[in-house]
């Protein structure tokens, strides 16, 4: 209890100096040269609080992680999110893969060439779910079966022999892939964007241009690094969402139109009868080879045309103000370095907001 009171007294500055015995630890009389308890010589071991060096209080804030560690951890989180969504939500997975493009420019070399190529293949597979859907096969009317007719004679009577086989166009599935209409593509994309952004916000991410980064990583970015992140995740062409393709209204993105050859009905032509010459009742149409459909001339059978907004490349045009760099000289310090530009002499280009692309 006495020791506690002495400690409190020292803490409050009540005592000027406390003399204790170095041998037995008992308190000695003030001004005494020898311990009254054991007789050993004593000295001052503690003085007023102002003379006692205080230890720094432990910090409650953990030390910040190294920049490269933040980058790799964020990249791994995005790849894990993408792979978990591939099966049920492939477009959300595609957006997570695109978000992961923000990290390689920040830490060059942490991905091998093989890893980068593998991830690119995974992203392209998910990308198809955004650009393509399925429609009923026009060759078999969505049944998966094709009625094959062959013309022949039975005695003097013309007859048609019919056989049902799997449709070669759709492989018997009744459905074929086709480019989504632009309106449908934007609907799918918008829904996936909202879901992906909700997931990133739940993880404490913050927007940096088109990317969503951990708050600590975003705070640590230099101006040039911010421009690199924005450039790597720059929004795609707003008209085609990166597909480089536009709707073909002539064939409704199917790549085929009904055969318009004279007399062709479902790929068969009924020839005229001349005199008493007996002819088969029907013959295969030579224009469509009996299919009833021919390649669309407007889109050359591709089911889509090149996007006129981006010239078919899927990206917005390069910003002419910064030549695609996303940076501009700091007007405040004229390149010498100041607080506004973080001492780098450059700021994000105001024309493209730092992503190096113009327009929307």
Domain ranges for the chain, please list them.
2-51, 66-137+174-235, 145-173+256-272+279-295, 317-360
Q: What is the pLDDT of residue 310?
A: 92
Residue 45 has pLDDT above 80, yes or no: no
| pLDDT (0 to 100) of residue 46 | 40
Phi, psi of 338 (to 5 degrees): -155, 180
Find how far residue 258's CA is from the centre of its chain. Answer: 40
User: Cβ–Cβ contacts within 10 Å for residue 190, how many?
Assistant: 11
Q: Distance of alpha carbon 13 from its chain centroid, rounded?
A: 62
Please tell me the predicted confidence (pLDDT) of residue 276: 58
Q: What percent of the chain has pLDDT over 70?
A: 74
**What per-residue confidence (pLDDT) applies to 15?**
40
Count CB atoms within 10 A of the CB of residue 146.
Answer: 22
Distance of alpha carbon 103 from alpha carbon 225, whole angstroms: 10
CA distance 134 to 177: 4
Strands annotated E in 264-340: 264-265, 268-269, 283-284, 293-295, 305-306, 327-329
CA atoms of 152 and 268, how far apart (whole Å): 14
Distances (CA, A) of 191 to 122, 196, 204, 243: 21, 9, 21, 18
Q: Per residue in 289-348, pLDDT tens?
A: 888 889 999 999 988 999 999 999 999 999 999 999 999 999 888 878 888 888 999 999
Contact 336, 294 (CB under 8 A): no
pLDDT in tens, 219-244: 999 999 999 999 999 999 999 999 99
Q: What are phi and psi of 187, to 5 degrees?
A: -65, -45
pLDDT classification of 53: cutoffs 50, 70, 90: very low
Q: Extract the tokens encoding 162.
A: 């019919």
Q: What is the mean pLDDT of the chain?
A: 81
Which of these ranges, 41-45, 131-135, 188-192, 212-216, has the smallest mean pLDDT? 41-45
Say what the pLDDT of residue 347 is: 95
Q: Report residue 10's pLDDT band, with 50, 70 and 90 as the boundaries.
A: very low
* pLDDT band per the 50, 70, 90 thresholds, residue 144: confident
pLDDT for the residue 156: 52
| pLDDT computed for residue 133 by the predictor | 85
pLDDT of 279: 57
Q: Tell me the pLDDT band of 190, cut-offs 50, 70 and 90.
A: very high
Q: Which residue has the higher pLDDT, 25 or 111?
A: 111
- Note the pLDDT of residue 306: 93
| pLDDT at site 254 | 86
Instruction: Report the percentage of the chain scoring pLDDT > 90.
Output: 48
Q: Is the pLDDT of residue 186 over 70?
A: yes
Angstrom distance (rounded) from CA 338 to CA 357: 26
149, 147, 199, 150: which is closest to 168 by C-alpha?
Answer: 147
Say which residue the tokens 């005494």 belong to: 32
Angstrom distance (rounded) from CA 79 to CA 98: 10
Q: Of 102, 112, 113, give the one whose Cα is nearest residue 75.
A: 102
Q: Are 284 and 267 in contact (CB under 8 A)?
A: yes
What pLDDT does 219 receive? 93
What pLDDT is attached to residue 274?
63
DSSP 180: P
The per-residue pLDDT for range 101-124, each reduced to its tens digit, is: 999 999 888 888 899 999 999 999
Backbone angles phi, psi at 71, to 5 degrees: -60, -50
Output the six-digit token pair for 35.
């311990």
pLDDT, mean of residues 112-140: 89
Q: Which of the listed ranges 18-32, 57-71, 143-157 does the model predict with the highest average pLDDT?
A: 57-71
The answer to whether residue 52 scores a pLDDT higher than 80 is no
For 29, the token pair is: 């009389």
**Residue in the structure block whose two tokens are 């399925």:** 134
pTM of the model: 0.70
């Amino acid at each position: 209890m006495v020791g506690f009171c002495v400690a409190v007294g020292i803490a409050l500055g009540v005592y000027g100096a406390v003399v204790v015995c170095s041998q037995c630890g008992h308190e000695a009389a003030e001004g005494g040269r020898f311990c009254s308890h054991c007789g050993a010589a004593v000295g001052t071991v503690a003085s007023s609080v102002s003379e006692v060096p205080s230890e720094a209080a432990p910090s409650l804030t953990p030390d910040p992680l190294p920049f490269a560690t933040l980058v790799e951890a964020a990249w791994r989180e995005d790849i894990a999110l993408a792979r978990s969504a591939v099966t049920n939500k492939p477009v959300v997975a595609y957006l997570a893969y695109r978000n992961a493009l923000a990290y390689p420019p920040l830490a060059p070399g942490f991905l091998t060439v093989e890893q980068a190529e593998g991830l690119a293949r995974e992203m392209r597979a998910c990308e198809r779910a955004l650009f393509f859907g399925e429609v009923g096969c026009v060759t078999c009317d969505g049944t998966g079966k094709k009625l094959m007719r062959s013309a022949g004679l039975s005695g003097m009577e013309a007859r048609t022999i019919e056989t049902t086989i799997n449709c070669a166009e759709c492989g018997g599935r009744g459905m074929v892939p086709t480019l989504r209409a632009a309106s449908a593509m934007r609907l799918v994309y918008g829904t996936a964007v909202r879901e992906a952004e909700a997931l990133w916000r739940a993880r404490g991410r913050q927007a940096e241009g088109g990317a969503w980064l951990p708050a600590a990583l975003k705070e640590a970015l230099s101006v040039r690094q911010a421009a690199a992140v924005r450039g790597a995740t720059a929004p795609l062409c707003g008209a085609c969402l990166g597909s480089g393709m536009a709707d073909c209204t002539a064939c409704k993105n199917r790549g085929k139109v009904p055969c318009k050859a004279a007399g062709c009905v479902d790929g068969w032509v009924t020839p005229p009868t001349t005199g008493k010459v007996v002819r088969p009742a029907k013959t295969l149409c030579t224009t469509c080879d009996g299919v009833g459909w021919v390649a669309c001339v407007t889109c050359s059978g591709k089911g889509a045309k090149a996007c006129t907004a981006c010239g078919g490349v899927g990206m917005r045009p390069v910003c002419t103000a910064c030549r695609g760099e996303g940076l501009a000289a700091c007007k405040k310090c004229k390149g010498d370095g100041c607080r506004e530009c973080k001492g780098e002499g450059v700021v994000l280009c105001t024309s493209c907001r730092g992503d190096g692309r113009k327009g929307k």
